[in-house]
Amino acid sequence: MEAAIPAQPSVRFLNPAWFASVMGTGVVAMALAQFGLVGWALPFYFLALLALVGLLGLYLAKLARYPQAVLADLQHPLLSQMLPTLPIALMVMSLATRLLPLGDWSLPLGQALFWVGMVLIFGVGLLVVFTVSTQLRLPLEVANGAWFIPPVSALLVPMAGGLWLSTFPKVWQKEIWVVSGLFLGIGFFLYLFVLVSFLQRKYVHGRLEPHFLPSVFIGLAPVGLLVLAPWRWLEAWPVIGLAIWGLGFWWLFYSLALLLDTLLVKARRSQFHFAPSWWGLVFPLGAFTLSTLALSRGLESAFLAALAWVLLLLLGGFWLWVMFYSLRAWAGLGTLRPPKG
């Protein structure tokens, strides 16, 4: 019997989760810059920017040539949750553009990424939740960490808005501050709803399938962003943020324990195949690393400062691991072929 000929590469098979690679690489650039390693941060920034441009081109081609495939993504229980990674990638690059010492060109670029990202975060996030809640009937047992992505997207808006606020005309600043606060509420309460559903699923239905494991780490992202995003709203926030950060500290060890439990058991490790969702290991850890560093400075804590450096090293290790498999996938254009099985 002849072996099946693999399908020709096509943008119709582009997984929207690949935008998480921009998020992961961009957050590494931000983390390095915040640790004072600007010389290391700049190559990561430009790599993320290049990836963003390339992926946007491919996804716009998919939208133009295969709109039915994009609609199928929206109606898919897992891929739909990945669609907000596109506007998140825009917002992450806006933040990175603000935090790195770039040329005069960075101001209009960063502001444009902020505006477009904010509009798409609201629109895409709302569309995903509306579609899933009206067209799909998902049992609780399929709940996974990808459900945290819409809350993560909303929480990035107040964080970016706070950083860019002073660069906008004074007449706009109050309104941007107000709108950013609205997104903070959206992200915070959506996170609470998803957190309850996810933990309930874990207790009632037990172990997640290995390919869902990276999604558990996504739970770190809302915690990190909830520490960072409201910093401009409340003067005493470092103390309140520390309490929220504690949940992330616990979640980090919980996620690492699940990862080790999978990698050290052959039967589970054999099912842990690479997918673009592996980038869920990187961005959330980057957000938590940044929040740990910010708290260490705000509270003048040597413990948190030392831990922040440990997290930075772990972040770098995860980025290298996932990037290796990503480059291997793109080298064979397997990323533009239908998924196996």
For 196-228, the DSSP string reads HHHHHHHHHH-SPPGGGHHHHHTTHHHHHHHHH
Report the distance separating Cα 84 and Cα 130, nearest Å: 13
Judge contact between 280 and 145, C-beta under 8 A.
yes
Which residues fall within 8 angstroms of residue 227, CB to CB, at 6 or more apart? 241, 244, 245, 248, 291, 294, 295
Burial (CB count within 10 angstroms: exposed 0-12, middle 13-18, buried 19+), residue 309: middle
Report the distance separating Cα 89 and Cα 91, nearest Å: 5
- Please give the pLDDT value at position 232: 59
- Please report, to the nearest 10 degrees, the dihedral formed by the alpha carbons of residues 204, 262, 309, 223 taken in order: -20
Judge contact between 24 and 289, C-beta under 8 A.
no
- Please report, to the nearest 10 degrees, the dihedral formed by the alpha carbons of residues 227, 194, 215, 66 taken in order: -110
Report the distance separating Cα 37 and Cα 267, nearest Å: 40
Encode pLDDT of 160-181 as tens digits.
Answer: 999 999 999 999 999 999 999 9
Judge contact between 223 and 248, C-beta under 8 A.
yes
- Using alpha carbons only, give the angle 114, 120, 126 rounded to the nearest 5 degrees: 135
Q: Name the nearest CA neighbour of 144 among 84, 76, 81.
A: 81
Burial (CB count within 10 angstroms: exposed 0-12, middle 13-18, buried 19+), residue 314: middle
- Please give the pLDDT value at position 341: 53
Q: What is the CATH number of domain 11-333?
A: 1.50.10.150
- Please give the pLDDT value at position 117: 97
Question: 């397997």: which residue's tokens?
Answer: 334
Stretches where the chain sits below pLDDT 50 are 1-5
Which amino acid, 38?
A: V
- Determine if the pTM surpasses 0.95: no
- Please give the pLDDT value at position 7: 66
Report the distance separating Cα 163 and Cα 111, nearest Å: 11
- Please give the pLDDT value at position 233: 59
Judge contact between 153 and 121, C-beta under 8 A.
yes
Judge contact between 32 and 289, C-beta under 8 A.
no
Region of residue 300 (phi > 0: left; psi between -120 and 50: alpha; otherwise: beta)? left
Report the distance separating Cα 102 and Cα 42, nearest Å: 9
Q: Name the nearest CA neighbour of 144 among 198, 191, 200.
A: 198
Report the distance separating Cα 237 and Cα 224, nearest Å: 13
- Please give the pLDDT value at position 53: 98
Which amino acid, 253?
A: F
Q: Which helix (H) or strand (E) holds 311?
A: helix 302-331
Helix (H/G/I), strand (E/B), else coil: 127: helix
- Please give the pLDDT value at position 205: 86
Encode pLDDT of 286-307 as tens digits.
Answer: 999 999 999 999 999 999 999 9
Report the distance separating Cα 65 and Cα 56, nearest Å: 14
Report the distance separating Cα 112 and Cα 319, nearest Å: 27
